[in-house]
């Protein structure tokens, strides 16, 4: 077993180009069987692979004396192997409370953050973590049950950025047999035997039931399916990159960052739906620099815009949207909700802005403190500010009137005119706050998205 597992992992490392000679590798060492075997195996292969190892133990501040025991054991094992070691303490309970997540999720986030910090501090190339084949089965099932595309069904990748997973090629049973043969002890985490967490339920209840009642070889079949899904995902990712590289249109900030990206709608419509969705997902990722909070629903709704009239849009998280223009589909992330620093501080008024889909027949607020506008007609970054030369509003019938003329006609004292806040789309004024709104931005039957501006924290003189 000893030689077999070494050979399997050695080939897996080579197959996925995990390490190159001279690499320094940070090992996440909990003291449990999986991470202990990872440290032992990489120590055995260290000379052959020409790598340096550095062990990092994260003390979560949970489980009391049991956690202290794990930390001491991890340090002693590392020292016996001649591997430099550091223990980093993290307040997982406090992090979970502040961020409103479970302690399990908080621990995972803090572990990776600490490992990455140690990688940078130690000038290391890689972070090795101890996920094995059984963990991969659980991950694939978890992603399947909660709803996932090919990326989730492909499970954990052997290499993701600086993180490598050499043990994905072996099972937990093989790991335990290796440690037994080597007569190496390890620490048991008492929480692993419970069924409080979803993964533990998969591990202790669902997967054993599947093996017993459906197919003993089910885990191997799941791993093969995951490998196929990961390969398909990589193929579609590559196709999407190729399409964007050849026909993507990018608008950039002065620093080079992408603020919006478009693509020919007709060209994209010629692709299969799954390719279209991969292209759109990459467009969002390139604009947002992250796919956090982006769901398959966002991508599917953006895809539907290809077959809808010009001007239609859908909202994306964090101030972004997808827009159908005459020739292109655009992903834009611009903060329309920008506030002038010269606004509410002096008046005590705070404009609160929200957007939401408009449904025909909705009653439009009639009070002076809350106004609705057609969000899709706003062309530039929205600001709340005082008047400037050239500001105007649109009248019924389409005519224009300068804000200065309006204030004169309304007999607003000259000394008060500069104190009145305006909601402005460039020089086009949506709302002379406390007075009137522009006809151009009013809600109509063609409105899709409402911008609501509500005045809070003060009162407008009647």
Residues in binding site for ATP:
30-35
Distance separating alpha carbons of residues 429 and 371, to the nearest angstrom = 13
Do 392 and 427 touch, CB atoms closer than 8 A?
yes
Q: What are the tokens at 246? A: 């050849």
- Its sign, for the CA torsion 34, 38, 41, 44, is negative
Residue numbering of the annotated binding site? 30-35
Distance separating alpha carbons of residues 334 and 283, to the nearest angstrom = 14
Close Cβ partners of 39 (under 8 Å, ≥ 6 residues apart)? 27, 29, 53, 55, 77, 78, 81, 83
Distance separating alpha carbons of residues 326 and 162, to the nearest angstrom = 42
Distance separating alpha carbons of residues 119 and 158, to the nearest angstrom = 18
What spatial distance separates the first Cα and last Cα of the chain, rounded to whole Å? 86
Q: Which of 304, 445, 454, 456 is nearest to 374 (CA)?
A: 445
Q: Which of 294, 297, 353, 350 is nearest to 318 (CA)?
A: 294
Distance separating alpha carbons of residues 61 and 88, to the nearest angstrom = 10
What is the phi-psi region of residue 82: left when phi exceeds 0, alpha when psi lies from -120 to 50, beta otherwise?
left
Q: What are the tokens at 252? A: 């950039």
Classify residue 130 by burial, with Cβ atoms within 10 Å: 0-12, 13-18, 19+: buried
Distance separating alpha carbons of residues 45 and 56, to the nearest angstrom = 19
Q: Hey, how many other C-beta atoms are within 10 angstroms of the C-beta on 81?
A: 16
329 phi/psi in degrees, rounded to 5: -105, 130
Residue 251 C-alpha from the chain's centroid: 22
Q: Which of 435, 387, 385, 380 is nearest to 411 (CA)?
A: 435
Distance separating alpha carbons of residues 123 and 384, to the nearest angstrom = 47
């Amino acid at each position: 077993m000893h030689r077999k597992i070494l050979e399997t992992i050695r080939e897996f490392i080579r197959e996925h180009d995990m390490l190159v000679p001279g690499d320094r590798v940070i090992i996440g060492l909990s003291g449990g069987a999986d991470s202990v075997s990872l440290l032992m195996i990489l120590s055995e292969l260290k000379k052959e692979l020409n790598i340096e190892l550095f062990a990092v133990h994260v003390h979560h501040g949970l489980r009391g004396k049991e956690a202290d025991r794990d930390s001491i054991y991890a340090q002693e094992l590392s020292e016996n192997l001649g591997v430099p070691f550091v223990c980093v303490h993290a307040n997982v309970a406090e992090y979970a409370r502040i961020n409103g997540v479970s302690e399990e999720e908080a621990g995972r986030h803090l572990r990776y953050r600490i490992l990455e910090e140690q990688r940078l501090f130690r000038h290391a190339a890689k972070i090795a973590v101890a996920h094995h084949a059984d963990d991969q089965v659980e991950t694939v099932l978890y992603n399947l049950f909660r709803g996932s595309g090919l990326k989730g069904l492909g499970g954990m990748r052997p290499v993701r950025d600086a993180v490598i997973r050499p043990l994905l090629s072996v099972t937990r049973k093989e790991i335990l047999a290796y440690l037994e043969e080597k007569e190496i002890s390890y620490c048991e985490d008492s929480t692993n035997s419970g069924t409080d967490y979803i993964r533990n339920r998969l591990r202790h209840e669902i997967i054993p039931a599947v093996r017993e009642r459906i197919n003993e070889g089910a885990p191997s079949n799941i791993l093969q399916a995951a490998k196929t899904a990961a390969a398909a995902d990589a193929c579609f990712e590559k196709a999407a990159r190729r399409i964007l590289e050849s026909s993507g249109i990018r608008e950039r900030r002065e620093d080079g960052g992408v603020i919006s990206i478009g693509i020919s709608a007709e060209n994209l419509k010629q692709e299969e739906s799954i390719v279209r969705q991969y292209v759109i997902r990459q467009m969002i990722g390139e604009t947002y620099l992250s796919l956090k909070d982006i769901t398959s629903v966002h991508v599917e709704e953006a895809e539907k815009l290809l077959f809808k009239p010009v001007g239609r849009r859908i909202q994306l998280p964090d101030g972004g949207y997808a827009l159908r223009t005459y020739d292109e589909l655009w992903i834009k992330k611009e903060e329309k909700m920008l506030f002038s620093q010269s606004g509410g501080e002096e008046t005590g008024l705070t404009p609160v802005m929200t957007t939401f889909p408009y449904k025909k027949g909705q009653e439009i607020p009639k009070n002076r403190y809350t106004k609705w506008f057609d969000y899709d007609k706003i062309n530039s970054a929205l600001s709340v500010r005082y008047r400037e030369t050239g500001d105007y509003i649109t009248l019924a019938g389409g005519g224009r009137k300068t804000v200065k003329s309006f204030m004169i006609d309304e007999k607003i004292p000259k000394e008060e005119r500069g104190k009145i806040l305006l909601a402005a789309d460039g020089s086009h004024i949506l709302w002379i706050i406390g007075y009137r709104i522009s006809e151009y931005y009013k809600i109509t039957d063609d409105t899709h998205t409402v911008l609501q501006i509500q005045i809070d924290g003060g009162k407008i003189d009647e």
